Structure 1
Amino acid sequence: MLVDVLAGDSSSPAARGSFHFARSPQAGEEIEIDGTVVVVTRAWHRPSIYYQGAKFAILVEEPVADAQVRPEVRDHADMAV
């Protein structure tokens, strides 16, 4: 599943890119993006037949300090686009 990842404050998030996930991340979940562990703060579906690209988006917090990448976190993401 292709997911758009946004980072930072919800009022002005910065785009981190689009990534493939085995399943859609949920709010409160820790995920790994480019070797960095982040926490999903919001997740939503963006259905549109006119918008090409990801139909699902997540908002993440800045990297988790001193986080070890656990196997269950690493296995969640398939690959980055």
Structure 2
Amino acid sequence: MLIDVLAGDSSSPAAWGSFHFARSPKAGEEVEIDGTVVIVTRAWHRPSIYYKGAKFAILVEDTVGDVQIRPEVRDHAGMTV
């Protein structure tokens, strides 16, 4: 599933990119994106027949410091688009 990832504060998030995930992450989950572990703070569906691209988006906060990447975290994220 292709998901747009936004990072930072919810009032002015920066686009991080679009990534393939095995399933859509939920708020509070840790996910690995490009070797960086982050926490999902918000996740939402944004259906549109007029917008090509990801129909789901997540907002992530700063990286999780000094953690071992667990297999269940690693399995979420896939390739960068």
TM-score normalised over the length of structure 2 = 0.96
C-alpha distance in structure 2 between counterparts of 1:80 and 1:22, whole Å:
13
In the other structure, the counterpart of 1:41 is 41
Residue by residue over 1:21-62, the C-alpha shift from the partner in whole angstroms, topping out at 9 and shown as x without a partner, is 010010000000000000000000001100111000000001
SS of equivalent residue, structure 2 residue 37 = strand
Amino acid at match of 1:45: H
Give the match's secondary structure for 1:62. Answer: strand
SS in 1 for 2:4: strand
Structure 1 residue runs of 5 or longer lacking an equivalent are: none
RMSD of the TM alignment (CA)? 0.7
**How many pairs are equivalent?**
81
- Structure 1 match to 2:7: 7
Distance 1:10 1:58 in 2: 11
Runs (5+) with no aligned partner, structure 2: none
The two structures have a TM-score, normalised by structure 1, of: 0.96
Partner of residue 60, structure 2: 60
Sequence identity, in percent?
A: 84
Which structure 1 residue ranges, 4+ long, deviate > 4 Å from structure 2?
none
